[in-house]
Structure 1
Amino acid sequence: MNTLLSIEKRNAVLLKMAVLLEQERNNIITINKADLEAYEGNDISMYDRLKVDDTKVDEMIASVTHLASQEDPVGVERFSFKHDNGMQVYNKTASFGTVLIIYESRPDVTVEAAGIAFKSGNKILLKGGKESLKSNLKIVALWHQALKENEASTDWVEYLQFNRIETQAFLEKPTQKVDLIVPRGGERLIAFVKQHATCPVIISGRGNNFVYVHPEADQQIALNLIVNGKTAKISACNAIDKVIIDKDLPNKKDFIESLISKLKAFNVEILGDEIICEFDEVSSIASDDVWFEEFLDYKIAIGEVTSNEEAIAMINKYSGGHSSVIVTTNEAEAKLFMENVDTAAVYHNASSRFTDGGQLGLGGELAISTDKLHQRGPIGLKHLVTNKWYVHGNGQTR
């Protein structure tokens, strides 16, 4: 077991990593091009997540720099109690120990997620996808350089170059102690990890996010939020996949036609229920299963509901528990929606695209959890800790 590094040393490693990422910027991008050229799949969202350009490198640098500026999440007092017998009791945050991150196609995770886990005092095991191997190995080499230059063991960041069979074997019988597993990727990856893991798993679940357009919606806001949520980044788990429009929306026909034309400008495939599919350029929703689907594509499903209550029920049945949006000028209706929709993030007149650790003030995130234990939504630095009881006595017995 690695002895907890001082906060000064952890920060120094993160800042050195920022310097190295800048120095090696062009090499990282060149190596990433080899991964992109070797990618044989036809999943556009996978390709989008695999790509590293100058903007991505800037984000990596910003992520580790910001992490270095944040307070130490370890050893924070959460509770204290003076026992009648004189014992002093504290509850403080503690690192998990070893965190395994399993992810697909995103070299930026090798920086951001590893950085969050490292800053919170954990050893990190990284299991990336084969499609990003060259990029990941380059970034891990930089982690090792940053650790060595600060006289810290390279064991703190370890890359597991495993195939699927080796990964399954490791999940079922780890060859070293693993305290927490965080899978970041599609539903298949998450199901695979859940099935085989023998230690706690934080589920970074599917999106399939909904926008409900209430009768008292500002319709221009509704159009902007839907188009932004659908088209800004189709590979994101905070993208919009479903729109439900209240049957009592004023000038409903004009609104729907305007929405269709704005989405079509981005070549979005539009599916509709029996009411919406009567409009031009809308295909019929083949089965109710479509409402469960996360598209990760230029594709959207639109339907009609009769009330806020029906919208809430529909979201709670079909969504991934990630993010949901109500567009309305009625505060009471927004409150009803926000309190009763069972998603990690709920929005009133704002885009679901903000469900992101950086955007919600956490600096960055390890994952966006759709679990309710032990943290829901973006998991930032402060959340990647467990806790420990510290009890000080002078011979008390019970």
Structure 2
Amino acid sequence: MKLIPTDTKNRVLSSMVRLLEDNRNALLKANKKDLEAFNKEDRAMYDRLIINENKIDGMVQAIKEVRAQDDPVNKVISDNTLSSGLKIVNKAAPFGTIMIIYESRPDVTIEAASLAFKANNKILLKGGKEALNSNVFLVGLWHQALEENDLCTDYIQLLKLNRESTQDFLKNPAEPLDLIVPRGGERLISFVKEHAKCAVLVSGRGNNFLYIDREANWEQTIEVILNAKTDKISACNALDKILIHKKIPNYEAKLKELSSILKMNDVAIMVDEWTHGILKEEMLIDKEAIWYEEFLALKCCLGAVDGLEDAIQKINQYSGGHSASIMSTNNEVTNMFMEQVDCAAVYRNASTRFTDGGAMGVGAELAISTDKLHHRGPLGLKQLVTNKYYVYGDGHVRV
């Protein structure tokens, strides 16, 4: 793929900032069409679909942050000259063509395109039909920004495909695909993995856990839980499951207090058998599948564990591998938890809501990867490149 000079890429991003600012009202009108056609019963999806002035401010800021970041392409990873005189340089290189599949969030159309383009990739945006008007408008602005800077609009494309057409496209893409990033639930991920013929980088379900150790600071724990559960229920970093050490001091009183505070904040509660012995009025978890479920709603599960090892086992069995937190003042316990829990982000005495590119200092993100290859966690600009070896010889032959 031809490499675009950094200053040209930055000029495109500057054009997009200006176009977004100049077309705020038109973007809000396009989004209004999507909102009016949407079934508001799906609260989480509806929240993700909304564009308002604050969301536009966030889009503008995301582009500015990407523009300010160093261009990752051609960065030298290693540079070695062997005893034979052979010089071997490993550099960062674009993936090529990236396809991202996502639902509802028009701001992804901004962040994903900004990152992919700055990293010199083409990007194919497969947004959900519920955000079609918003996405069509935003991609139209991208095309204006590209054309203003004498670049082909093929760098950023919107795919208007239904499920069947998407399946056909994955099997026989119109152009070679180098990477697919599905942002969604298990069904979407399975669908893409089944039909794709290139690398798939999974941005998996949340279903995040928090473990309350017997040496936890209780007031701090309540504050962290409320933030993780209620701050933004539509986020993949929201809290869904709470595990409590059975031997925490004043276990029964604290459990009742936690239940009461959650209900005061409109959070519905489900409990395991042990916990149901105290919180008899709460709904009993009667299916194991619930422990695997990402709620994206004001709902959570409370469960009892025998200790750290039991908590780690349950989290590794049921979580989506996204984020998990421990509340404890015991450093030995927290270190063991953080080392042994198999998630992209592990926390000590902090809310899972920080698993986000901006909140983690990465900047704009394409997704939160729950895969282990080639990167785990927020996919920022530096993660949207692969590598290439440049080998310089002078008639060298291997003997």
Q: Do the structures match in fold with TM over 0.5?
A: yes
Alpha-carbon offset, residue 394 of structure 1: 2.0
> Residue deviations 1:280-327, cap 9 Å, x none?
542111122211111111110001111111110110111111100000
Question: 3-state SS of the aligned residue for 1:158?
Answer: strand
Tell me the residue number matched to 1:114: 113
Supply the distance in 2 between the matched residues of 1:337 and 1:166 (Cα, whole angstroms). Answer: 44
Tell me the residue number matched to 1:380: 380
Stretch deviating more after TM superposition (250-259 or 348-357)? 250-259
Is 1:362–1:380's contact at 8 Å kept on the other side of the alignment?
Answer: yes
Amino acid in structure 2 at the alignment position of 1:174: P
Supply the distance in 2 between the matched residues of 1:281 and 1:200 (Cα, whole angstroms). Answer: 48
How many residues were matched structurally? 397
Alpha-carbon offset, residue 276 of structure 1: 1.9
Is 1:213–1:327's contact at 8 Å kept on the other side of the alignment?
Answer: yes
Structure 1 stretches of at least 4 aligned residues deviating more than 6 Å after TM superposition: none
Is 1:98–1:125's contact at 8 Å kept on the other side of the alignment?
Answer: yes
Supply the distance in 2 between the matched residues of 1:55 and 1:135 (Cα, whole angstroms). Answer: 16
Tell me the residue number matched to 2:102: 103
Question: 3-state SS of the aligned residue for 2:347?
Answer: strand
Stretch deviating more after TM superposition (281-290 or 149-158)? 281-290
Question: 3-state SS of the aligned residue for 2:199?
Answer: coil
Is 1:217–1:328's contact at 8 Å kept on the other side of the alignment?
Answer: yes
Alpha-carbon offset, residue 254 of structure 1: 2.2
Tell me the residue number matched to 1:148: 147
Alpha-carbon offset, residue 85 of structure 1: 2.1
> Residue deviations 1:49-106, cap 9 Å, x none?
1111111111100000000000011111111110222121100110001001111111
Tell me the residue number matched to 1:336: 336
Is 1:270–1:281's contact at 8 Å kept on the other side of the alignment?
Answer: no
Say yes or no: does 1:51 pair with 2:50: yes
> Residue deviations 1:329-353, cap 9 Å, x none?
0111000100000111000001000
Question: 3-state SS of the aligned residue for 2:157?
Answer: strand
Question: 3-state SS of the aligned residue for 2:144?
Answer: helix
Amino acid in structure 2 at the alignment position of 1:141: G
Tell me the residue number matched to 2:354: 354
Say yes or no: does 1:274 pair with 2:273: yes
Supply the distance in 2 between the matched residues of 1:308 and 1:53 (Cα, whole angstroms). Answer: 43
Say yes or no: does 1:295 pair with 2:295: yes
Supply the distance in 1 between the matched residues of 2:299 and 2:281 (Cα, whole angstroms). Answer: 12
Tell me the residue number matched to 1:305: 305
Alpha-carbon offset, residue 266 of structure 1: 2.2
Question: 3-state SS of the aligned residue for 2:204?
Answer: coil
Alpha-carbon offset, residue 256 of structure 1: 1.4
Supply the distance in 2 between the matched residues of 1:22 and 1:186 (Cα, whole angstroms). Answer: 33
Question: 3-state SS of the aligned residue for 2:249?
Answer: coil
Supply the distance in 2 between the matched residues of 1:267 and 1:281 (Cα, whole angstroms). Answer: 16
Supply the distance in 2 between the matched residues of 1:146 and 1:314 (Cα, whole angstroms). Answer: 49
Say yes or no: does 1:255 pair with 2:254: yes
Supply the distance in 1 between the matched residues of 2:187 and 2:355 (Cα, whole angstroms). Answer: 22
Percentage identity across paired residues of the two chains: 52
TM-score (normalised: structure 2) = 0.97
Tell me the residue number matched to 2:130: 131
Runs of 5+ unmatched residues, structure 2: none
> Residue deviations 1:175-206, cap 9 Å, x none?
11111001112222222111111110100001
> Residue deviations 1:4-25, cap 9 Å, x none?
2111111111121111111111
TM-score (normalised: structure 1) = 0.98
**RMSD of Structure 2 on Structure 1 (CA):** 1.1
> Residue deviations 1:243-296, cap 9 Å, x none?
000011112222212211221122111001112223254211112221111111
Tell me the residue number matched to 1:63: 62
> Residue deviations 1:210-231, cap 9 Å, x none?
0000010000111111111111
Supply the distance in 2 between the matched residues of 1:362 and 1:43 (Cα, whole angstroms). Answer: 30
